[in-house]
Amino acid sequence: MELTARGALGRFRPKGTIALLRNASPSRFKRVRNVVLAVLGIFLFSFAGTDYYLRGQLYYTKRVINALYRDTWQVAFPPSGPVKLYVRMAADQTYRSLHADWKTHLPDVFDAAANRFAGEFDIRLTLLNLDAWERPEGLDDYADILKYVLRKLDRRGADVFVVMTAKEMPAGSGTAAGGTPAPPSP
């Protein structure tokens, strides 16, 4: 006797959730689906909202999405080849005062780092432009600078925004301060 797919499925009697969904009418299925989506949506909004409130940015939300993306999509479809990233740089008033030639100095700094990342990791960085930015008085802590930059400065489509800042050493210390890049802020 020939067993058709329909006949085989007909003998299969699932229980639990599968049976519930299989036997459910279309309207009931839509209702369940909408409830599930609503619960997921509320959870995601709450998570992202709390994240933004506590960290000033979607810090953990982005990390979770990155982890999911890396462990699911990228596992199924492994990427290959070079990575191209566009970078903007901005130097604050202290950095500019310590490096009068900052407009020529920073492209050299960028080129040296870009050559290393291209050669060692096949990560190709392209500098879009250099800007000046004004760091508010009293904003000295690097973490605070990053938060300020994330909220106030526009990276205008660049993948990476590098803010350069420097600390002036106390008078009489005899040591000139060098430029210190704050961590690139994605």
Q: Which residues bind other proteins (CB under 8 A)?
A: 58, 62, 65-66, 69-70, 74, 79, 83, 85, 105-106, 108-110, 112-113, 116-117, 120-123, 125, 159-160, 162, 164, 178-184, 186
Q: Smaller CB distance to other proteins: residue 32 or 109?
A: 109
Q: From residue 136, give the alpha-carbon distance in Å to each of 95, 151, 152.
A: 14, 13, 11
By beta-carbon proximity to other proteins, the closer residue of 12 and 77 is 77
Pairwise CA distance, residues 145 & 136, whole Å = 9
| Between 58 and 153, CB nearer to other proteins | 58
Distance in Å, CB of 10 to other proteins, minimum? 46
Nearer to other proteins, 49 or 82 (CB): 82
What are the residues whose beta carbons fall under 8 Å from the beta carbon of 114, sequence distance 6 or more?
Answer: 124, 125, 126, 127
Q: What is the C-alpha separation between 23 and 25, in angstroms, rounded?
A: 7
User: C-beta of 91: minimal distance to other proteins in Å?
Assistant: 10
- Closest approach, Cβ 7 to other proteins, in A, equals 47
How far CA 145 is from CA of 33, 151, 159, 176, in Å, comes to 44, 10, 19, 21
The least distance separating other proteins from the CB of residue 186, rounded to whole angstroms, comes to 4
Residue closest to 155 by CA, chosen among 85, 63, 89: 89
Nearer to other proteins, 31 or 116 (CB): 116
Measured from the CB atom, is 33 or 84 closer to other proteins? 84
Q: Which residue type does 45 have?
A: F
| Per-position DSSP letters for 67-130, written without gaps between them | HHHHHTHHHHS---S-EEEEEEEEE-HHHHHH-TTHHHHHHHHHHHHHHHHHHHH-EEEEEEEE
- Smallest distance, Å, CB 53 to other proteins? 18
> Residue 175 CB, nearest distance to other proteins (Å)?
12
**Whether the Cβ atoms of residue 163 and residue 149 lie closer than 8 Å to each other:** yes
